[in-house]
A and B are shown apart, each in its own frame.
Chain A
Amino acid sequence: MARAALDVLPGTVDVLILRTLAWQPMHGYAISQWIRDRSGGVVAIQGAALYQALHRLERQGWIAAEWGASENNRRAKFYELTPRGRTQLRQETASWREYAAAVSKVLAPA
């Protein structure tokens, strides 16, 4: 690891979780690993932020949870994207792209 992982920017946790779960249903720890791996170890979500977000999203009905057995046969809580969550992901991805593009434009050297 060349440098310490960046803490994720506030406001992006939700969309990252939704994106991750769009891949496949998984438990909380797997979500954090997946994000870290996909960002090449750059982005790491703190556990506290992750689980608060997961329960919040569940309450909003964007993801649903079930208890199941993990890879090593431990009892683990699995999350999956609901149809409403999928719609939400599309909207957030679009607006995130727009935002990122706008920020890049501003930051581009003159």
Chain B
Amino acid sequence: MSERRRRLRLPWRSSARISADIDDELTFHVEMRARELMATGMSEGEARREAVREFGDLDYTRRYCASLDRRGDALLRRTQWLEDLGVDLRHAWRTMARAPGFLAVVLLTLALGIGANTAVFTVVDRVLVASLPYREPDRVVRIYGTDVPDGIQEGQVAAGDYVDYRRRQRTFQDLAAFTWADYTYVGPDRPEGMTGLGVTANFFDVLGTRALLGSTFVTGDDSLIPAAVVVLSHSAWKRIFGGDPGIVGRRIIMSDYPRTVVGVMPAGFISPLREADFWMPRSLAPLLDDANRARKFRNLGMIGRLAPQRTVAAGSADLAAIARDLEQRYPESNTGIGVVAVPIRASFAGPVRAPLLVLMGAAGLVLLIACANVGGMLVARGLARRHEFAVRAALGAGRGRLARQVLAESMALALAGGLLGVALAVRLTQALVALARPALPAMGPVAVDGRALAFACGITAITGLVLGLIPVRGGGRLASRQALHEESRGLTGGPARSRLRATLVVAQMATAVVLVIGAGLLARSLSRLRAVDLGFRPEHVLTFRVELRGTKYDSAAQVIALYEALHERLRALPGVVAVGSTGAIPTEGGARSALDIYGRDVPPGQLPAVGYNSVSDDYFRALGIPLREGRSFEEQDNEKATPAVILSEGAARHFWPGGGAVGARVRLGPDPSQPWAVVVGVVGDVRQDGAAGDVLPTAYVSARQDTWAGRTVVARTYDDPVAVASAARRELRAIDPNVPITELRTMTTVVDESLAGRRLPLWLMSAFALLALVLAAIGVYGVMAYAVTMRASELGVRAALGAQRRDLFVLVLSQGMRTALIALVIGLGAAVAFARSLSSLLFGVAPLDLTTFLAAAAILVACAMAATLIPAQRAMRVDPAATLRGA
């Protein structure tokens, strides 16, 4: 009986099976009892009835037993499964621990792959996906003014137009406007420059964000002059006011005017246009009342909240129709002026969207390589363990059980790699954000969060699954009798597995080619950008920004006086060659203006646009912009004199092709009541919009004749410009201790930062490409070394038959090269598609740049060759005698 019991021990049963078993068991009992009763003389029917009666509650017993058995079985199933898994994992750990080097390489590879992806995802998610801190953010749009004649696509709108848009639109809940506002807060220690936004009172209602402390603005009639109040950003509240919990209600002096703090926004709140320290209500009345500015001075940014069920396209079309009507009505100011609405997220992500997506793709490729690499190593190990599997199968382990063991191993590997990867990603994200900061939108802190962790878990699980499936699939028959045979014949691994490994290596190398080409194209773009002549000499120049605000600087004369004094003092510093100042330094963009030329009679709406900048006398000398003709600005160009204009070479050539620009009479700006100015000189072209921008024909005016209170000072020095930085601070403080210095940098740093957005993808892509190359080289080495070991006897025989050592070397090398060439063909093909997707990031380089492609091919071949050399040398040293003896 004991033997029967062993045989019939069931692992677990289905629910129906359990019920059937119980019915069988109980029926058996009742029937046996009935038979016994019949033996005492009862009839069959009587006996059966009596047996059932005696039994008691049959139905309840049936249900009771079934529920007990089901629970027991489920438990059994779970414990059995967990026990098996535990065994598998212990087994995995034991085998791995025996090869710590292998384990370390695998974990490092996986950690790099998963870490890089998680870090890039963290940034991508934050910038492109994560929800914005607004109520129903999908309904919030950013509205840009467009200016067809000037080629402006993401510009501002004029106050008069804003009022029309707001009143006449039918698709928005409301529109709000905002503009730059810069103030100086004079705190107990030192003056603090604050950058913020002047906004219409309904600004926060349109965004739908509440204050963390206090409140935002009370909305009401916009025509009322807004109260002197201000809402602070979380970071300004912490930074400038030390997180004072009693800040709400406090009066602070901002550029001489008292303002009451009414609220503090929550951390992570971001607003369009710029990273703001504060928001204050701004009345549009002064703009609307000035006929020359109401529709011509386009300085307002616009946002809107769409009405429910309205699309961005519908909102955009609605506003565009109003814009067309305004063109008809005010041709002088509005010809060519349009408007376009985009989802607010797009306005934040705009320029970094393409590079981020490319990087996400590149990171994906790295993970692919990591998987292929680790997969290859696992296959190689699987070969070594073939015997083990065969033995286990022979001992009765099922195919599923073996597959699960492989899967448990790969999952454990992926999990450990994933954990390391997340730790790595935390660091990588910091580095990435630090690197990308100048190019990223103002989004507040970016760190690995729950979503990034979920992503990491996801890719870890996929990685584990892929890693587990590679050997299972490639192995085909994990455990066959054939394996035992092969093992006993001293052969390890069938041709299927070698082919699989070779395929994986080809995949790795092909992917590496793609990444190397990507990095190469970006590197060439950046070097082209660096080689672009910006039109000035950035070396040895110190620059800093000065903003004059408050009652002391209400008049142009006061502003001019301060800058003259500052220039004077800086010039007197030892080591300083020349000092100038400007409204906007090159690479940081600048203003535009219409250019009217005396005697040409161009209608006002069709005047050409030129770059416009207000500069001091010595500005051109300080930046090293060459004077081509005429003279620079001089003391005589003061507010009483005839306005003087200096044109860029491009402007002079474009508008006076036959020469004769100097002495011509021109007028800048749309106001026909302005007096005509005289062109006094021509200077070299400057790339005001940075290396990638166009050279815009530009008109310069004297700082004495168009005085801007906020200016950037440039000081050329003999040596290191940083050496005079503290002296510059001291001199400004001596003139007015309440004026802050901001953005103190060297001009080379300014140029560098203007390329930051370009450098980020290049650095990352290069790092990925390098990683890919190293992994691919390891893969090639592994396969070739294995092939040499496999073919040792064949090589030995060849040597014995008289093959030269050189021949053996070439034999192995050519095999390695064949793999590399296949990979190269596939990789170059894939790179064509990849390079096209990069095109928006390229400058001065075609996506299918031959040099880059050839260089990448050479790098890959060299890499494969280097990885093949050692195995090839080993092939040379095969001892024919040993082979013959062994055979």
Chain A contacts to B: CB under 8 angstroms: 25, 27-29, 32, 46-49, 51-52, 55-56, 58-59, 66-70, 74-78, 80
Chain B stretch 61-96: residues in CB contact (< 8 A) with chain A: 61, 64-65, 68-69, 71-72
B55 x A59 contact (CB < 8 A): no
A48 x B55 contact (CB < 8 A): yes
Chain B residue at minimal CB-CB distance from A1? B40
Chain A residues with Cβ below 8 Å from B57 are: 48
14 contacts between A and B (CB under 8 A): A27-B25, A29-B32, A46-B55, A47-B26, A47-B29, A47-B55, A47-B58, A48-B61, A55-B69, A56-B68, A59-B68, A66-B8, A67-B21, A80-B5
B68 x A66 contact (CB < 8 A): no
A28 CA to B24 CA, complexed, in Å: 12
A47 x B30 contact (CB < 8 A): yes
Instruction: Known contacts A46-B54, A68-B4; decide if A51 and B29 are in contact (CB<8 Å).
Output: yes
A47 CA to B25 CA, complexed, in Å: 11
A74 x B8 contact (CB < 8 A): no
B50 to chain A, nearest CB (A): 12
A29 CA to B68 CA, complexed, in Å: 20
Is B1 an interface residue, CB under 8 A from the partner?
yes
A70 CA to B1 CA, complexed, in Å: 11
A27 CA to B4 CA, complexed, in Å: 14
Cβ-neighbour of B68 out of A27, A46, A55, A80 (below 8 A): A55
B620 to chain A, nearest CB (A): 95
Chain A residues with Cβ below 8 Å from B1 are: 25, 68, 78
Chain A residues with Cβ below 8 Å from B21 are: 67, 77
Is B603 an interface residue, CB under 8 A from the partner?
no
A48 CA to B54 CA, complexed, in Å: 9
Task: State the 8 A-B residue pairs at the shortest beta-carbon distance, nearest first.
Answer: A48-B56, A47-B55, A66-B5, A55-B65, A46-B56, A29-B32, A48-B61, A59-B72
Most buried by B among A32, A48, A75, A78: A48
Is B210 an interface residue, CB under 8 A from the partner?
no
Chain A residue at minimal CB-CB distance from B32? A29
Instruction: Known contacts A48-B57, A52-B61; decide if A28 and B25 are in contact (CB<8 Å).
Output: yes
Is B885 an interface residue, CB under 8 A from the partner?
no
A29 CA to B28 CA, complexed, in Å: 8
A63 to chain B, nearest CB (A): 12
A28 CA to B64 CA, complexed, in Å: 16
Chain A residue at minimal CB-CB distance from B73? A59
Is B33 an interface residue, CB under 8 A from the partner?
yes
Chain A residues with Cβ below 8 Å from B31 are: 74
Chain B stretch 21-61: residues in CB contact (< 8 A) with chain A: 21, 24-26, 28-33, 54-58, 60-61
Chain B residues with Cβ below 8 Å from A58 are: 68-69, 72
Is B9 an interface residue, CB under 8 A from the partner?
yes
Chain A residues with Cβ below 8 Å from B65 are: 51-52, 55
Chain B residues with Cβ below 8 Å from A27 are: 25, 28
A28 CA to B21 CA, complexed, in Å: 13
B30 x A76 contact (CB < 8 A): no
Instruction: Known contacts A28-B25, A28-B29; decide if A49 and B68 are in contact (CB<8 Å).
Output: no
Chain A residues with Cβ below 8 Å from B58 are: 47-48
Chain A residues with Cβ below 8 Å from B60 are: 48
Chain B residues with Cβ below 8 Å from A48 are: 55-58, 60-61
Chain A residues with Cβ below 8 Å from B5 are: 25, 66, 68, 78, 80
A67 CA to B28 CA, complexed, in Å: 12
B29 x A55 contact (CB < 8 A): no
Chain A residues with Cβ below 8 Å from B30 are: 47
A29 CA to B33 CA, complexed, in Å: 8
Chain B residue at minimal CB-CB distance from A68? B4
Chain A residue at minimal CB-CB distance from B66? A55
A78 to chain B, nearest CB (A): 7
Chain A residues with Cβ below 8 Å from B9 are: 66
B92 to chain A, nearest CB (A): 30
Chain B residues with Cβ below 8 Å from A66 are: 4-5, 8-9
A52 x B64 contact (CB < 8 A): yes
Q: Chain B, interface size: which category?
A: 20 to 34
A51 to chain B, nearest CB (A): 5
Instruction: Known contacts A27-B28, A29-B29, A78-B1; decide if A55 and B64 are in contact (CB<8 Å).
Output: yes
A67 x B72 contact (CB < 8 A): no
A56 to chain B, nearest CB (A): 6
A51 x B61 contact (CB < 8 A): yes
Given A29-B33, A47-B54, A68-B8, 18 extra CB contacts under 8 A: A27-B28, A28-B28, A29-B32, A47-B55, A48-B55, A48-B57, A48-B61, A49-B56, A51-B61, A58-B68, A58-B69, A66-B9, A74-B31, A77-B21, A77-B24, A77-B25, A78-B5, A80-B5
Chain B residues with Cβ below 8 Å from A75 are: 24, 28
A59 CA to B69 CA, complexed, in Å: 7
A55 CA to B19 CA, complexed, in Å: 13
Chain B residue at minimal CB-CB distance from A56? B68
A64 CA to B56 CA, complexed, in Å: 24
Chain B residue at minimal CB-CB distance from A69? B4
Instruction: Known contacts A47-B55, A48-B58, A48-B60; decide if A76 and B68 are in contact (CB<8 Å).
Output: no
A95 CA to B340 CA, complexed, in Å: 90
Chain A residues with Cβ below 8 Å from B56 are: 46-49
A51 x B26 contact (CB < 8 A): yes
A25 CA to B2 CA, complexed, in Å: 9
A74 CA to B24 CA, complexed, in Å: 10
A49 CA to B8 CA, complexed, in Å: 26
B836 to chain A, nearest CB (A): 66
Chain A residues with Cβ below 8 Å from B72 are: 58-59
A74 x B26 contact (CB < 8 A): no
A27 CA to B30 CA, complexed, in Å: 13
A27 CA to B27 CA, complexed, in Å: 12
Chain B stretch 1-25: residues in CB contact (< 8 A) with chain A: 1, 4-5, 8-9, 21, 24-25
Chain B residues with Cβ below 8 Å from A78 are: 1, 5
A42 to chain B, nearest CB (A): 16
Chain B residues with Cβ below 8 Å from A25 are: 1, 5
Chain A residue at minimal CB-CB distance from B30? A47
B16 to chain A, nearest CB (A): 16
A63 CA to B179 CA, complexed, in Å: 83
Chain B stretch 192-250: residues in CB contact (< 8 A) with chain A: none
A52 CA to B4 CA, complexed, in Å: 24
Chain B residues with Cβ below 8 Å from A76 are: 25, 28
Chain B residues with Cβ below 8 Å from A52 are: 61, 64-65
A55 CA to B69 CA, complexed, in Å: 7
Chain B residue at minimal CB-CB distance from A49? B56
Instruction: Known contacts A47-B61, A49-B56, A78-B1; decide if A70 and B28 are in contact (CB<8 Å).
Output: yes
A56 CA to B71 CA, complexed, in Å: 11
Chain A residues with Cβ below 8 Å from B26 are: 47, 51
A11 to chain B, nearest CB (A): 17
A14 to chain B, nearest CB (A): 14
A77 CA to B10 CA, complexed, in Å: 12
Chain A residues with Cβ below 8 Å from B55 are: 46-48
A80 CA to B4 CA, complexed, in Å: 13
Chain A residue at minimal CB-CB distance from B67? A55
Chain A residues with Cβ below 8 Å from B29 are: 28-29, 32, 47, 51
Chain B residues with Cβ below 8 Å from A67 are: 8, 21
Chain A residue at minimal CB-CB distance from B65? A55
A57 CA to B408 CA, complexed, in Å: 35
Most buried by B among A28, A47, A68, A70: A47
Chain B residues with Cβ below 8 Å from A32 are: 29
Chain B residues with Cβ below 8 Å from A46 are: 54-56
A29 CA to B36 CA, complexed, in Å: 11
A70 CA to B8 CA, complexed, in Å: 14
A24 to chain B, nearest CB (A): 9
A59 x B71 contact (CB < 8 A): yes
A47 CA to B60 CA, complexed, in Å: 12
Chain B residues with Cβ below 8 Å from A29 are: 28-29, 32-33
Chain A residue at minimal CB-CB distance from B40? A1
A72 CA to B200 CA, complexed, in Å: 97
A32 CA to B30 CA, complexed, in Å: 12
A25 CA to B29 CA, complexed, in Å: 16
